[in-house]
Amino acid sequence: MQHRIALIGLSGSGKTTVGPLIAQVLGWPYVDIDAQIVAAAGQPITEIFAQRGEQHFREIEAKVLHQALSDAPGVIATGGGVVENTQLQVALQESAFVVWLHAPPQQLGARLRAAADRPLLGDDPAAALQRMAERRSALYASIADWIVPTATLTPQQIADEVVRAFTRQQSAPTTSSVQVTTPGGHYLIEARAGLLDTLPDQLDRLRLDGNVWLVSDTTVMPLHGQRVLKRLQEAGRTAHSFSIPMGEQHKTLDTVRDVYDWLLSSGVERGDVILALGGGVVGDLAGFVAATVLRGIAVVQLPTTVLAMVDSAIGGKTGVDHAVGKNLVGAFHQPRLVLADTAVLATLPAAERAAGWTEAIKHGVIGDAALFEDLRRHAEKALALEEPLTGQLILRAAGYKARVVSGDEREQGERILLNYGHTIGHALEAESNYTLRHGEAVAIGMMAAGTIALRVGLFSHEALAEQRAALEAFRLPTRIPQGVDLNQILARIGSDKKVRAKRVRWVLPTRIGAAVVRSDVPGELVADVLQELVSQ
């Protein structure tokens, strides 16, 4: 890469204030795309819109931006709408270090109320920005190399943060962390072998100075918990530990109460931190305890399964199961850090490992074609935990979820794509009495959704075959086991919690690397596809 930094973000996010400051630090030229458009057109932006229309404006914008991206080094402040043009998205990603200046839209509205030269915002800038923010956030998040939450920073602090991120990225041979930015918190995800040894330093860095409460399960604690406790003690930390019984059947409020009892009777305080060391069960449960005990204390996620590393530890969804159904009681509580030490995967049973990679392949299919390709190609090495490859693949798969979650913390838009394969997956998982692992059921669910997408003309035969090949490379099932009652599956889909107004919202891929949501899939087609997928 690139000696170019491009700033993206909504109007009013500070691009034109921060841009010159960054340029000054780096000694680079500064390019304001809006100003260049005005120069090229020979009239103010309001007039271009009024007299020649938005389309014309976008054409000049594309030309000016392409020019800026092929010039010498520079800091480029883009217009808020560039991300809506797919070609410009690609050009930005290829030729610049892309930074999203992320600010709450309400704040932008206040700053902009007086601004007259912003033709797209109309009379009520706050409301217009809110609508625009919803549409664009997911786009910004998906193309940004780095996200700077600007709410509490001065322009100079923002500029310094951008320069720091850029320099770090230039000097690092491979990426070792990705960032999550949500209204509920900003944090890093790191993935590579040996990371648990860095835990005491990381806690210091985050100023998590209080007591440490390690929660794990009866399988993982003896395997990896002891080492974590030892490192913490060597660093002079007071660490307590507690094991919950292993398994989904213990992801309940009863277990939560046991953990509360332990914490509260041992004197947990507001400034303390819970470490969740384990798979998704420990992460969800310990995260929920952290969200609620003393009205919320810090949690650091230390995932020990592939599934937890690429999926459940990221995004802040915590909770437990209820007799009525899975994950029905919970809270959003973002962790302060996610450390995925891939060395611990060595003790994870092979089938458990494979099942976790389903979610990574899913991320590839719905949003990251390059990740998909690398997973497919390197499946054997990933299953054998070859490093540094495994850490990199885990980080990229986690990075996809991080980007989606950063654009959509509470699952109102883009985040729903993560449910790809899960509508039928959940039904199969339950119908098999959980003899199918979650990842195995989702793999079959992905084949079902992919086949539905093929039948409604969205997905190609080739792409579906590629998906099958990738799943099979990870030794995942792609057909429904004989003996499963398909009518029960259909009935369960009708009661799936992602149903809105009785219509199932299907996440359907349109190619490897992109998906859409459709709620007009006929029930007969679904029944047909399920029939076709039953093992011969």
Ligand X SMILES: NC(=O)c1ccc[n+]([C@@H]2O[C@H](COP(=O)([O-])OP(=O)(O)OC[C@H]3O[C@@H](n4cnc5c(N)ncnc54)[C@H](O)[C@@H]3O)[C@@H](O)[C@H]2O)c1
Site for ligand X, rule CB under 6 A: 217, 219-220, 223, 246-248, 251, 278-282, 284, 304-305, 307-308, 311-312, 315, 317, 326-327, 344-345, 347-348, 352, 438
Concerning whether 518 is annotated as a catalytic residue, the answer is no
498 is catalytic: no
Three-class secondary structure of residue 152 per DSSP: coil
Active site residue 3: no
SS3 531: helix
> Between 105 and 278, whose beta carbon lies closer to ligand X?
278
Q: Which is closer to ligand X, CB of 247 or CB of 523?
A: 247
Least Cβ distance, residue 366 to ligand X (angstroms): 15
> What contacts 36, CB < 8 A, 6 or more positions away?
64, 67, 68
The least CB distance from residue 349 to ligand X, in Å, is 7
Query: Among residues 266 and 435, whose Cβ is nearest to ligand X?
Result: 435
**Which among 251, 415, 437, 468 is annotated as catalytic?**
415
Options 4, 426, 437, 468, the catalytic residue: 426
Q: How far is the CB of 312 from ligand X (least distance, A)?
A: 3
Catalytic-residue membership of 422 = yes
Token pair belonging to 530: 């399920």
**Cα–Cα dist 403/425, whole Å:** 24
Catalytic annotation present for 415: yes
Residue number with CB closer to ligand X (22 or 405): 405
The least distance separating ligand X from the CB of residue 309, rounded to whole angstroms, comes to 9
Give catalytic status of residue 363 as yes or no: no
Q: Dihedral sign, CA of 138, 143, 149, 150? A: negative
Q: Report which of 178, 110, 186, 177 is spatially closest to residue 148, judged by C-alpha positions.
A: 186
Cis peptide before 388 (omega within 30 of 0): yes
CB atoms within 10 A of CB 57: 20
C-beta nearest to ligand X: residue:
280
Q: Which is nearer to ligand X, 15 or 422 (CB)?
A: 422
Nearest distance from C-beta of residue 223 to ligand X, angstroms: 5
DSSP state string for 354-408: HHHHHHHHHHHHHH-HHHHHHHHHTHHHHHTT-TTHHHHHHHHHHHHHHHHHHH-
Q: Please list, in sequence order, all residues whose beta carbon lies within 8 angstroms of the beta carbon of residue 111, skipping any fewer than 6 positions away.
A: 12
The side-by-side arrangement of strands in the sheet containing 239-244 is 177-182, 185-192, 337-341, 298-303, 273-278, 212-217, 239-244
Catalytic residue among 237, 250, 396, 401: 401
Q: In Å, how far are 413, 487, 503, 504, 507 from 520, measured between CA atoms?
A: 18, 20, 8, 8, 11
Pick 68 or 314: Cβ nearer ligand X = 314
- Which of 47, 352, 411, 472 is an active site residue? 411
Task: Name the active-site residue from 419, 429, 437, 468.
Answer: 419
Q: Please identify which of the residues 136, 251, 437, 438 carries the catalytic annotation.
A: 438
Annotated catalytic, 94?
no
**In whole angstroms, what is the distance from residue 371 CA to residue 367 CA?**
9
Residue 215 Cβ vs ligand X, minimum distance, rounded to whole Å? 12
Instruction: Look up 419 and say whether it is catalytic.
Output: yes
Question: Which of 497, 493, 397 shows the shortest CA–CA distance to 448?
Answer: 493
**Residue 266 or 347: which CB sits closer to ligand X?**
347
CA angle 244, 342, 378 (to 5 degrees): 130
Q: Which of 61, 190, 359, 466 is catalytic?
A: 359
Coil vs helix vs strand at 120:
coil
Contact present, 271 and 210 (Cβ < 8 Å):
yes
The H or E element spanning position 240 is strand 239-244
Q: Which is nearer to ligand X, 203 or 220 (CB)?
A: 220
| Minimum CB–partner distance for residue 254 and ligand X (Å) | 15
**Whole-number Cα distances in Å, 531 to 451, 484, 486, 528:** 12, 10, 8, 5
Minimal distance, residue 279 CB to ligand X, in Å: 2
- For 319, left (φ over 0), alpha (ψ -120 to 50), or beta? left
Strand, coil or helix: what is 334?
coil
Task: Name the minimum Å distance from CB 142 to ligand X.
Answer: 19
Nearer to ligand X (CB atom), residue 102 or residue 401: 401
Catalytic residue set = 295, 317, 359, 401, 411, 415, 419, 422, 426, 438
